[in-house]
Amino acid sequence: MGIPVDEDFMEETFAVPTVQVNKFVVSTNPGVFRIAFGESRVFGSKVNWRIALSMSPIEAHELREVLDQLLEPFKEEIETTIANFEAAKADGDGGEQK
């Protein structure tokens, strides 16, 4: 599940540029998972794609496990946000943020 890192190693990871994203698309081909990341200024606007990452199925599995573990403290907040979005869609506003 990921690789163990110490504080110095973690600090080195911050040497690479960081891009804020709010959109992603996942695609698969035999033996490869590809995730493209992008951003859009407002809901429903053009997406500006920033980067795509490819990984093997085992690496994708490891990423999922790490994300599941890191997201656990946010589970209630995420479920509430999803429920609110689904309720807004059902009310006919498409769940768009205003």
Q: What's the domain range around 38?
A: 7-90
Give CA 10 to chain center in angstroms: 20
Judge contact between 1 and 68, C-beta under 8 A.
no
Residue 97: DSSP 8-state: -
DSSP state letters, 26-93: EEEETTEEEEEEEE-SSTTS--EEEEEEEE-HHHHHHHHHHHHHHHGGGHHHHHHHHHHHHHHHHTTS
Residue at 38 is within a domain = yes
Query: Does residue 13 lie within any of the structural domains?
Result: yes
pTM, two decimals, is 0.72
Number of independent structural domains in the chain: 1
pLDDT tens, N- to C-terminus, the chain (98 residues)? 577 889 999 899 899 888 889 999 999 999 999 999 999 988 889 999 999 999 999 999 999 999 999 999 999 999 999 999 999 988 876 555 54
Q: Report if residue 41 sits inside a domain.
A: yes
Q: Is residue 32 part of a domain?
A: yes
Q: Say if 96 falls within a structural domain.
A: no
**Residue 98 resides in a domain:** no
